[in-house]
Amino acid sequence: MNTCVCFLFLFSLSLFLDCLSSFPLCTDSRQPIKQDTPLKFCSYNGTVCCNSTQDLELQKQFESLNVFDPACAALLKLTTCAICDQFSARLFGIDSGPRKVPVLCNTTDLVKPHQSKVGDSIDFCTKLWDTCGHISIMSSPFAPPMQGRVGMQYSSLPSKLTDQWRSRKDFCEAIGGSEDDLCFKDEPVSFSQEKASPPAGLCLEKIAKGAYINLVPHPDGSNRAFMSNQQGKIWLATIPNEGSNGILWINESEPFLDITDEVLFDTEFGLMGMSFHPNFARNGRFFLSFNCDKMKHPGCSGRCSCNTDVSCDPSKLPADSGVQPCQYHSVVAEFTANGTASETSLATSANPSEVRRIFAMGLPYRGGHAGEILFGPADGFLYLMMGDGSNRDDPYNFAQNKKSLLGKILRLDIDTIPSAMEISGKGLWGNYSIPSDNPFVDVKDVKPEIWALGFRNPWRCSFDSERPSYFLCGDCGQDQYEEVDIVIKGGNYGWRVYEGSIPFQPTKSPGGTTSATSINPIFPVMGYSHSDIDKNVGSAASASITGGYFYRSMTDPCMYKRYLYMDLYADGVWAGTESPENSGNFSTAKMPFKCAHDSPIQCNIVPAGISNATPALGYVYSFAEDNKKDVYILTSSGVYRVARPSRCNFLCAKENAVNSVTHGQRSCSPMSTELFKGHKDVLFFLLSYFVLYTGLYPVNYH
């Protein structure tokens, strides 16, 4: 058991360190900026890591090299400008220490298959050596940093590569760096546009009939999970093994907690989020995000999000379908498991009285307000997703207003309890503290709770269980586009300047506007247009994304590593495939889905749009992931789990290979080479099966 715990810890730590510079980032760890016109000297265009001022500095830096040979000068200019590449954090190896020059593509064998191969430019390091080796360069950035087998000490005097390095091999081994998964040749980094073949489809089994909005695995690592509905009830359920013909065991008559008398339940309101403290097994603390109506629920109170700080007067807002401004509230509250149990993990009920009110905010309209809560797996802080609060147009521009918490993802420290004086002095919205490394913690006139901004209604976010730095959110669009975003510290995701990557013009804007040139938007990595949703299900404007998960189970090995997401109307499942890994470069494919022929609860899934009927899958509320990393789809018609492809007659060549291992066959069927590509996959594969099929779950798996 202890060995398993240590291995899990070290494995998770190695994955976390390995992905510090994942997806497009600049050398200062900030996101690239959108440059409408090409840089004058470096000629980079689009999304880049340099502005015009930096471009001028790079020109001066290049000129100081004092190289007059035109062929060599051309290569040195390209190398100098590589810092403007949107992948410069990877090219300059910021996770292993800063470099003076980018990682140069060394030999054909070292170039990764995702990179374009264009003639002799593949081996850029050799080309640079052959062209510039005998040319004097002033204060050469290629000089070795120290004495040793690779060359001599750095000098500010003119020098030649052949004087400083013993051979091209030594030079390219030091400058090229064969371990990096990106390298520079003679142009901005680009990836092959060839899309990976999507799986044949997604097989589902139905294991429950109830309509639930949350499924959270029990923190003890067992096969139990907490289920909640939108009305305000939570149950403790037992999950059957996949393929066992078992159904989700849940006693509806004995809820773990019932707060229906405190919860406002309506189409977009109710118990929206549920998250358990990382140390729940010891402290029994868990947190709920829900809505209340101050006209009906005692204790439903809080400041109005429409206030003078954001130049909004609630008395001038009209009633929204009979609801007054800030009549409805978003609330996050702390509860605790019943202390009468000998161990918290054995508790079968919770105390319905709040321990404390973490957060409370009055909503300006009846519109989207999100409400999901998650604990960050790497930092232990609570992330709260907040929509812009409106049905259309975000008229007061809350999502871009950094004095407002609407249209944001917030990051809160719920373990450090502030004093009443601190809450008042800092203008906090409840009993929480501000993490010291939040991006705007020391910025004047910006709310320090903000982790990221520019969202319309982030509906269902998740941290990748293999790479904690990958934090993906589905964000609902308005008229044209539904998006999936990789959320990073301080990122601005564009709404309502953009809907997806499409410029957006609100019909009314009493709260003012934000110009496109004043922000550096991060555009979606995946998504779909409203026109992609079958019109027979409803109008195109009715599309609404439900964000999902990176699939990390081996139940369907052909789905492994792909990010799954859907639309509310269950028109299809989208699978996003990242290529290469850690690049932020995704291709997506829409896949069919079926119900397993041996599903414990039979289901006949009707494709959306037939005879204007609602698909038998129902409306898709949420995705979920259990302790075994199996993925679930929670809908209005029940709970569905991703099953083995063969149970739906979907062909997956990897399934037989996986079965030969998991069912203990003596014959060693060769595994797909793709399955074992890279050491991380091998470790993950071996670890998964050790944990899943021996039952040795470590305490506090999360």
Average pLDDT for 172-194: 72
Q: Is 458 helix (H, G, I), strand (E, B) or coil?
A: strand
Amino acid of residue 498 = Y
pLDDT band per the 50, 70, 90 thresholds, residue 255: very high
Task: Give pLDDT, residue 659.
Answer: 61
Task: Give pLDDT, residue 680.
Answer: 44
Residues 127, 593: Cα–Cα separation, whole Å: 50
Average pLDDT for 249-265: 96
pLDDT band per the 50, 70, 90 thresholds, residue 408: very high
- Of 598, 532, 528, residue with least CA distance to 247: 598
DSSP state of 492: B
Q: What is the pLDDT of residues 650-673, one digit of tens each?
A: 999 888 766 644 444 333 333 333
Q: Is 694 helix (H, G, I), strand (E, B) or coil?
A: helix
Q: What is the pLDDT of residues 197-243, one digit of tens each?
A: 778 899 999 999 999 999 999 999 999 999 999 999 999 999 999 98
Sign of the CA dihedral running 277, 283, 284, 285: negative
H helices present in 287-349, as ranges: none
Q: Position of tokens 């009830």?
A: 233
Give the DSSP H or E segment for 567.
Answer: strand 563-567
- Asked if 336 contacts 350 with a C-beta cutoff of 8 angstroms, the reply is yes
Q: What is the pLDDT of residues 674-691, one digit of tens each?
A: 333 344 444 444 444 444
Task: Give pLDDT, residue 122.
Answer: 55
State phi, psi for 81 to the nearest 5 degrees: -80, -5
Spell out the residues 6+ positions from residue 641 whose beta carbon is closer than 8 angstroms to its own.
Answer: 204, 205, 207, 242, 630, 631, 632, 633
Task: Give pLDDT, residue 188.
Answer: 84
Q: What is the pLDDT of residues 520-530, one digit of tens each?
A: 999 999 999 98
Mean pLDDT computed over every residue of the chain: 84
Residues 261, 231: Cα–Cα separation, whole Å: 9
Q: Position of tokens 């929206």?
A: 272
User: Is residue 46 predicted with pLDDT exceeding 90?
Assistant: no
Residues 172, 113: Cα–Cα separation, whole Å: 19
Q: Which of 85-94, 439-448, 587-596 is predicted least confidently?
A: 85-94
Tell me which of 366 and 340 has the higher pLDDT.
366
Structure tokens at 332: 């996050």
- Asked if 159 contacts 144 with a C-beta cutoff of 8 angstroms, the reply is no
Average pLDDT for 292-308: 95
Tell me which of 687 and 91 has the higher pLDDT.
91
User: Is residue 30 predicted with pLDDT exceeding 90?
Assistant: no
Residue 188's Cβ-side half-sphere holds a number of Cα atoms within 13 Å equal to: 15
Q: Which of 164-178, 322-336, 402-416, 434-448 is predicted least confidently?
A: 164-178
Task: Give pLDDT, residue 196.
Answer: 62
State phi, psi for 653 to the nearest 5 degrees: -60, -30
pLDDT band per the 50, 70, 90 thresholds, residue 181: low
User: Is residue 613 predicted with pLDDT exceeding 60?
Assistant: no
Residues 680, 621: Cα–Cα separation, whole Å: 32
Is-cis flag, bond preceding 580, omega within 30? Answer: yes
Task: Give pLDDT, residue 618.
Answer: 87
User: Is residue 601 predicted with pLDDT exceeding 90?
Assistant: yes
Q: Is 57 helix (H, G, I), strand (E, B) or coil?
A: helix
Residues 568, 531: Cα–Cα separation, whole Å: 14
Tell me which of 341 and 186 has the higher pLDDT.
186
Residue 24's Cβ-side half-sphere holds a number of Cα atoms within 13 Å equal to: 24
Amino acid of residue 156 = S
DSSP state of 180: -
Residue 553's Cβ-side half-sphere holds a number of Cα atoms within 13 Å equal to: 22
* Distance (Å) of CA 393 to CA 289, 475, 512: 25, 15, 12
Task: Give pLDDT, residue 156.
Answer: 63
Q: What is the pLDDT of residues 107-159, one digit of tens each?
A: 644 434 333 333 344 578 989 999 999 999 998 898 886 433 333 344 567 88
- Asked if 483 contacts 459 with a C-beta cutoff of 8 angstroms, the reply is no
DSSP state of 143: S
Task: Return the bridge partners of 320, or none.
Answer: 323
Structure tokens at 617: 């899958």
Task: Give pLDDT, residue 252.
Answer: 93
Task: Give pLDDT, residue 198.
Answer: 79
Name the pTM for this structure. Answer: 0.77
Q: What is the pLDDT of residues 474-520, one digit of tens each?
A: 999 999 999 999 999 999 999 999 999 999 999 989 999 999 999 99
- Of 247, 228, 230, residue with least CA distance to 239: 247
Task: Give pLDDT, residue 123.
Answer: 78
Average pLDDT for 416-421: 94
- Of 103, 100, 89, residue with least CA distance to 25: 89
Dihedral (Cα; 676, 681, 683, 684), 10-degree rounding: -130
Task: Give pLDDT, residue 475.
Answer: 98
Q: What is the pLDDT of residues 312-325, one digit of tens each?
A: 999 999 999 899 99
Q: What is the pLDDT of residues 345-400, one digit of tens each?
A: 889 999 999 999 999 999 999 988 999 999 999 999 999 999 999 999 999 999 99
Task: Give pLDDT, residue 97.
Answer: 65
What percent of the chain lies above the pLDDT cut of 90?
63
- Asked if 617 contacts 570 with a C-beta cutoff of 8 angstroms, the reply is yes
* Distance (Å) of CA 409 to CA 39, 373, 438, 454, 586: 33, 10, 11, 9, 23
What are the start-end ranges of the E strands in 192-254? 202-208, 214-217, 224-228, 233-238
Neighbours of 500 (CB within 10 A): 23
Structure tokens at 588: 């997506």
Task: List the 233-238 sheet strands across, edge first.
Answer: 214-217, 224-228, 233-238, 257-258
User: Is residue 193 predicted with pLDDT exceeding 80?
Assistant: no
User: Kindly report the CA angle at 258 between 257 and 262, in degrees rounded to 5?
Assistant: 130
